[in-house]
A and B are shown apart, each in its own frame.
Chain A
Amino acid sequence: MTMASSSPPTRRPAPGGDGRLAAVFIAPALLGFVVFLLWPTLRGVYLSFTRFNLLTPAEWVGLDNYVRMVHDPIFWDALRVTVGYVLVNIGVQTVSALAIAVLLQRLTGSALLRGIVLTPYLMSNVVAGIVWLWILDTQLGIGNEIVAGLGFDRIPFLADETWAIPTIALINVWRHVGYTALLLFAGLQAIPDEMYEAAKVDGAGEWRMFWRITLPLLRPVLAVVLIMTVIGSFQVFDTVAVTTAGGPGNATNVLQYYIYGAAFGRFQFGYASAMSVALLVVLSAITVLQYRLTRAGRSDLG
């Protein structure tokens, strides 16, 4: 996990280096990078200062979009809904993924189990959304049949303002947790077995080993995985689009869904871009903050 030094292993440099050859090798990727990543990023920032409806040229309006955003109650609501989603999604996913990874490490070396936990990841968010929409259907879903069978009232999981966001968050945990667990598992592989053996000789139980060995040594990996999952989580869109379409009311109107509506429903590309910039700023801030808090750059694992 440590940053590999940027110089390759010792080689006698050819006189003059490999400039021309490197140019050929790097050209396609660099073209893609500049045209579809660097330029759109700059353009996205530029568009946020314009009024733009795709049909007429973008017109510079300065900070208008940002002023509007700050005074837009639906924007703040969308941000609040998104943060709520992220908290549930990340909280449950991190704990579950850690549990699965540790079980895969300490309980069994079964590659089959590792394959099984990854299966939901093979489906699209669209498929996962539709499947759980059916399982959780108020009248006919097997989930609600079980709820009713246990003697409770049926729960309109995706049609109720309180339940909808946590439900969508958990659907996405179901889809992604296996992949996250395998990333953590890869980090656990770097912890030498001898450490556990030594702790065992000292009479430590599994529980104590987890707190004394696994967690401290996994922390840098955990920090990186957390940053990745939080960034992914903030961009939730697909599941909302196929299950609730932002409803009921605005209960699941997550930021990305609101941005999409502004751009493709109302053709306010400038305003949509401004909100995207806001999301970008939020995500950058989170990344920097998490790096600071966890000192992810300092890793004991090679």
Chain B
Amino acid sequence: MTGPTAVTTAPARPGSRARRPSLGRIAAWAVMGAIVLVTLLPFYWILRTALSGNAALAVDPADPLPVKATTGGFARALGLQSTEEAIAQGGSGGGLRFWRYLLNSVVVSTLITGCQIFFSAMAAYAFARLRWRGRDTVFGLFLAGLMVPAIFTLLPNFVLIKQLGLIESLLGIALPTMFMTPFAVFFLRQFFLNVPGEVEEAALLDGAGKVRIFFRVLLPMASTPVLTLAVLTYITSWNDYFWPLMVSYSDSSRVLTVALAIFRAQTPQSGVDWSGLMAATLVAALPMLALFGFFARRVVGSIGFTGIK
């Protein structure tokens, strides 16, 4: 799905065939430019702050370039500095076991994304392409599930995970969304519904079974929606904070978002280690920026209403 080609605006006066850019067009570009600035400038500011010396930030808060440039902020965020050195540079000394949290985030997000998409695709196929008694009833149930705000199930799910003895475990964080989300099932069902029946019939005539058709024909055909959903799911689970906050209390199961919030809470009210904090946020956000950058071309075009009603 590509964007429309640029359209020329209507001439200001009907009948006149002016080809020069109209005032309205210039204004529209100005607005677009402002939107891009507001979107991107905070990113630059994170980078500028992260590369500044912490003490120097207070001296020169408005300098557009890094002040007293140093990589000390990153060293503190990644826990590469000794406590004395960190405190000397304005850190709290309360380090981040960064690599541990990064690994936890990767494990949780990968587990959720991989399983959720695979199981949701299977269910979507059953809803879209198989005939069975009770299909519409079960589907209606999923439809109702879409209406329950995610946040409502967090408390009861916490009780359940606690009873299962999975508090403080990465599996405990992943489980509730590991099997499906109603949204993922809808999104993929909509795609499978639109695959022409001939595709399946041809494969059936070739003697392929339905299981094989799903894996060999339909799933490969659905690569773009699957990829879009995978990227969105990965970003969502990577950025989730509320649920992991409930489930994990110690380093062993702590994910990046929770660690970051703790890092922020550790900093004293006066003399916050801004350069360390900004370095930490940048490092936490970087994997998602990279992931998106890598798949942007295919994903951006297919974000839409494939499955929502």
Contact = CB atoms under 8 A, between A and B. Distances in A.
Q: Do A and B bind each other?
A: yes
Given A9-B197, A32-B119, A109-B2, A115 B130 contact: no
B156 to A, nearest CB: 4
Contacts of B4: 105, 109, 189, 193
A110 B19 CA distance: 21
A183 B304 CA distance: 5
Contacts of A134: 45, 49, 274, 277-278
Contacts of A38: 141, 145
A293 B127 CA distance: 31
- At the interface, is chain A mostly helix, strand, loop or mixed? helix
A213 interface: no
Interface in B1-16: 1-7, 9-10, 12, 14-15
B197 A10 contact: yes
A126 B241 contact: yes
Contacts of A19: 132-133
B246 A264 contact: yes
Given A29-B185, A126-B241, A283 B135 contact: no
Interface residues of B, number: 115
Contact of B155 (A14, A33, A44, A130): A44
Interface string B154-192: 011111101000000000000111111010010000100
Given A37-B153, A131-B281, A113 B32 contact: yes
Contacts of A104: 3
Contacts of B217: none
A235 B149 contact: yes
B12 A205 contact: yes
Interface stretch (A61-69, A135-143, A161-169): A135-143
A125 B239 contact: yes
A178 B39 contact: yes
Interface stretch (B79-87, B95-103, B282-290): B282-290
A86 interface: no
B309 A131 contact: no
A288 to B, nearest CB: 10
A124 B61 contact: no
A25 B130 contact: yes
A131 B147 contact: no
A209 B185 CA distance: 37
Contact of A119 (B150, B257, B289): B289
A224 B308 contact: yes
A43 B149 contact: no
Nearest to A47: B156
Interface in A257-302: 259-260, 263-264, 269, 272-273, 276-277, 279-280, 283-284, 287
A9 B200 CA distance: 11
Interface string B124-137: 01111111110110
B222 interface: no
A133 B190 CA distance: 41
Contact of B300 (A111, A122, A145): A111
Given A8-B193, A123-B285, A186-B305, A117 B128 contact: no
Interface in B175-220: 175-180, 182, 185, 190, 193-194, 196-197, 200-201, 210-211, 214
B70 to A, nearest CB: 17
A157 B7 CA distance: 41
B35 interface: yes
B3 A182 contact: no
Contact of A22 (B1, B126, B142, B177): B126
Most chain A CB within a 10 A radius of its CB, from B153, B177, B196 = B153
A32 B178 contact: yes
A98 B162 CA distance: 43
Contact of B260 (A130, A132, A224): A130
A126 B244 CA distance: 13
A25 B123 contact: yes
A228 interface: yes
Contacts of A231: 149
Contact of A54 (B122, B159, B235): B159
B305 A26 contact: no
Interface of B: 1-7, 9-10, 12, 14-15, 24-25, 28-29, 31-32, 35-36, 38-40, 42-43, 45-46, 49, 57-58, 61-62, 115, 119-120, 122-123, 125-133, 135-136, 138-139, 141-142, 145, 147-153, 155-160, 162, 175-180, 182, 185, 190, 193-194, 196-197, 200-201, 210-211, 214, 235, 238-242, 245-246, 257, 260-261, 264, 274, 277-278, 281, 284-285, 288-289, 292, 296-297, 300-301, 303-305, 308-309
15 contacts: A9-B196, A26-B126, A29-B123, A30-B123, A122-B235, A124-B284, A125-B241, A127-B257, A131-B45, A134-B45, A145-B61, A182-B304, A186-B303, A235-B149, A264-B246
Those 7 A-B pairs whose CB atoms lie nearest each other, nearest first: A32-B179, A186-B304, A203-B14, A109-B3, A124-B239, A29-B123, A40-B156
Given A41-B148, A242-B260, 15 more contacts: A11-B201, A22-B126, A29-B185, A33-B141, A40-B156, A43-B159, A103-B31, A106-B28, A113-B36, A122-B235, A134-B278, A142-B45, A182-B304, A269-B155, A279-B149
